[in-house]
Amino acid sequence: MNTGNARNLLTDECDCQLRYKKKTKMNMNFEGRIFMQSASSFAAASLGQIVEGYAVVFGKEDRISLKSLENDDRREFLRVVRAARQRVEQRFGPTVMFEHGASCVGTNVSCGVNRIHVHIVPYTGRGLKNEIGKSFKCKASVSTIEQMLAQLGSWETEAPYFWIEESGGVFLFSYGENRESQLVRRVIARQVGMDDRWNWRAYPTQEAAEWVAKELSTSVVPPSPDRLHAAIV
């Protein structure tokens, strides 16, 4: 990438904060989809159920990515993510996780959800790292999300990223100039034969999502706040 192109990409990425200023708070409808909550985050069945049991954990509205969280908030958020993942796997089987790490709101990278969120997807298909690696460069391969975030700490603030966790490994990728919306969802949709359903906005599945949330709420005793805290510590 030449210097001029890099400067244009960063300018476009940051200028979006002005263009989308009025859209920083999402008006998404979570009714009937939330199955786990803590003080600062919650887990909900995805509105885009390309795979049965697909869930998403949402964090604070004023943070756009996992990288943007302070250490204490990051630890708390990851506790909820792991507790939600355990719940999903108990009911729907092995999962992969990923995040499209935007650097500001309103971009294709943020996929229309302008707050921190991590995807939890029941999936046992072909390895995502190898599929995604055909088009995007893997910058780091580590064992934990915490190790991945340590690697990410040296990146430019304006640079978007994405990572996937599968088969006991965490793989950090750079978008470069190819900043597709819902990138990992596209790949998973293709692998499970739902190629045209990758876009949750174009193909919302409210009824299916509500069923998944009920399954994740009733397959185990719904936790009280104290029990949830104990489960995620």
Percent of the chain with pLDDT over 90: 51
CATH label of the domain that carries residue 91:
3.30.428.10
The C-alpha atoms of residue 172 and residue 65 are separated, in whole angstroms, by 14
- Please check the confidence at residue 223 and state whether its pLDDT lies above 90: no
Instruction: Using the predicted structure, report yes or no on whether residue 32 has a pLDDT greater than 80.
Output: yes
Specify whether the CB–CB gap between 26 and 115 falls below 8 A.
Answer: yes
Q: Could you tell me the residue range of the domain that residue 101 belongs to? A: 3-232
Contacts of 143 (CB under 8 A, 6+ apart): 168, 169, 170
Which has the minimum average pLDDT: 87-101, 144-158, 193-207? 144-158
Q: Considering its fold, how many domains does the chain have in total? A: 1
Q: CA dist 115 to 46, 70, 233, Å?
A: 15, 15, 23
Query: Greater confidence, 40 or 61?
Result: 40
Q: Which residue has the higher pLDDT, 96 or 19?
A: 96
SS3 readout for the chain: CCHHHHHHHHHHHHHHHHHCHHHCCCCCCCCCCEEEECCCCEEEECCCCCCCCCEEEECCCCCCCHHHCCHHHHHHHHHHHHHHHHHHHHHHCCEEEEEEECCCCCCCCCCCCCCCEEEEEECCCCCHHHHHCCCCCEEEEECCHHHHHHHHCCCCCCCCEEEEEECCEEEEEECCCCCCCCHHHHHHHHHCCCHHHCCCCCCCCHHHHHHHHHHHHHCCCCCCHHHHHHHHC
Q: What is the mean pLDDT of residues 212-222?
A: 77
State the pLDDT confidence band at 16, using cuts at 50, 70 and 90: very low
φ and ψ at residue 203, rounded to 5 degrees: -130, 65
Instruction: Give the list of residues 6+ apart from residue 224 with CB closer than 8 angstroms, or none.
Output: none
Better pLDDT: 172 or 16:
172
